[in-house]
Amino acid sequence: MIGGNESCTAGPIPMSYLSCLTYILGEWTGVEHIEDYLSYAAYLLWVLFPLAVVFLLPGVLVILFYTSVLLLHIYKRKNELKEAYSNDFWDGAKQMLATLWDGHGRIWHGYELHGAENIPEGPGLIVFYHGATPADYVYFMARLLIQKKRYCHAVADHFVFRLPGFKILLDVHGVMHGPKEECVSALKKGCLIAIAPGGVREALFSDEMYTIMWGNRKGFAQVAIDAKVPIIPMFTQNVREGVRTLGGIKIFRSLYERIRLPVVPLYGGFPVKLRTFIGEPIPYEPNITAEELTAKTKAALQALIEKHQKIPGNIFRALMERFQSQKKED
């Protein structure tokens, strides 16, 4: 048996396996001194590997979403007969996915939920700051379902409904397009709904300064007024340190404004500490206008950001917070 440092040829000049492979590759390609090119390629791989990792890690979330889709299809297939006789057919599937996502949040981000007692027993409209991905909202929804047995519907951007394979996931979780009438109807039925008024624009183009980007959007406030429900502000600490975007590059902003699709590259997927904070509800007031309620909600959300987030956000600091037992209060 020939060892790793022994000759791979019986010729007069013995060569190691690596030298032999380099020689064969050079003969096959006809490139002289190919070992110099290979050394350069290995150096580039070593230098660029960390960069490749930070752009590939966000793909883990995509894998988790499609894993959820696959599990729902399996669940439906195994329970087709039960579907005809049960009103709560998807309850088991929701619990299963909640366990999957809550486990990911606990392991990867040490996820914590604070202030859940501020969520009313009845209907309410949760308004939250949108990070580069909605992962923090999914963690919140999963934890709420596990701990409080409460389910929260979400209002999503239209492009989400065009993602291949996502229909079953959106249907099971009751994700809505967001017409005012649909939201008001759901709230009047006693549902809990979550919405990020900043939407995709805030997700892609806000930054480590945690700037709220709502523009002139106030439809959510009118929904709360029409449904006569409270608004509950919500913010997740370090949400922009987990995954960041290249939204600061002007060409991506121009492209988004033209085609309205999230074409901005993401990078990160860092295991930073995530803590979701639920603020005190803003009660329904019969005489308040949508403009006034929007301003009041924005001020409440800004207060949560200032209280729980160090500005500007810092990835290394957010990573170190994984080792802190107490949430930030200052």
Catalytic residues: 130
Query: Is 177:193 a contact under the CB 8 Å cutoff?
Result: no
- Residue 307's closest CA among 327, 285, 281, 286? 327
Provide the CB-side half-sphere exposure for 280 (13 A, CA). Answer: 4
Query: Which residue bears the tokens 């007031």?
Result: 285
Question: From its phi and psi, is residue 156 left (phi > 0), alpha (psi between -120 and 50) or beta?
Answer: beta
User: Which phi and psi (to 5°) does residue 327 adopt?
Assistant: -75, 155
- Residue 204's closest CA among 149, 164, 260, 153? 260
CA distance 275 to 136: 9
Query: Which residue bears the tokens 């929904």?
Result: 223
Tell me the C-alpha to C-alpha distance, in Å, between residue 307 and each of 35, 117, 296, 330: 57, 18, 17, 6
The β-bridge relationship of strands 266-268 and 243-245 is antiparallel
SS3 call for 325: coil
User: Which phi and psi (to 5°) does residue 125 adopt?
Assistant: -115, 110
- Residue 299's closest CA among 274, 276, 279? 279
Helices (H), the chain: 17-29, 34-56, 59-78, 80-83, 91-109, 135-148, 167-172, 180-188, 199-205, 219-227, 239-242, 250-259, 290-308, 315-320
SS3 call for 149: coil
